[in-house]
Amino acid sequence: MKHLLARKGIALAVTFLFASSVIMAQTTATMSKKDADKWVKSKAYAPNLNRSVDVSVNSVEFAKQYNANKAVWDKVFAFLQNPDLANMRGGHVNIDGENGENAYAIFLNDIPKDFSQSNWEVHKKYIDVHYVIEGKEKIAGIPFAKVQDAVVTPFNDNSDIGYYKYDAFNDYSIATPENFFIYFPGEAHRPHLKVDPASTDRVKKVVIKVKYVN
- With bands split at pLDDT 50, 70 and 90, how would you rate the model's confidence at 5? very low
Residue 26 pLDDT grade (very low, low, confident, very high; cuts 50, 70, 90): very low
Q: What is the pLDDT of residues 104-156, one digit of tens each?
A: 999 999 999 998 889 999 999 999 999 999 999 999 999 999 999 999 999 99
Residue 67 has pLDDT above 80, yes or no: yes
pLDDT at 62: 98
- Tell me what percent of the residues of the chain surpass a pLDDT of 70: 86
pLDDT at 21 over 70: no
Instruction: Give the residue ranges of DSSP H helices in the chain.
Output: 2-29, 33-42, 59-68, 70-80
Arithmetic mean of pLDDT, 29-47:
93
What pLDDT does residue 13 have? Answer: 43
Residue 57: phi, psi to the nearest 5? -70, 140
Q: What gap in Å lies between CA 45 and CA 74, rounded to an integer?
A: 7
Q: How far apart are CA 142 and CA 190, in angstroms?
A: 9
Question: Average pLDDT for residues 29-50, to the nearest whole number?
Answer: 93
Q: What proportion of the chain, given as a percentage, has pLDDT over 90?
A: 81
34 closest CA partner among 66, 59, 4: 59
CA 94 centroid distance within chain: 16
How far is Cα 82 from Cα 95, in angstroms, rounded to an integer?
12
211/69 Cα distance (integer angstroms): 9
Summary mean pLDDT of the chain:
89
pLDDT at 169: 72
- Residue 29: what pLDDT? 58
C-alpha–C-alpha distance, residues 147 and 164, integer Å: 6
Average pLDDT for residues 57-67, to the nearest whole number?
97
Q: End-to-end distance of the chain based on CA atoms, in angstroms?
A: 50
Residues shown for the chain = 214
pTM: 0.86
34-211 to CATH, choices 1.10.760.10, 3.40.50.720, 2.60.120.370, 2.10.25.10: 2.60.120.370
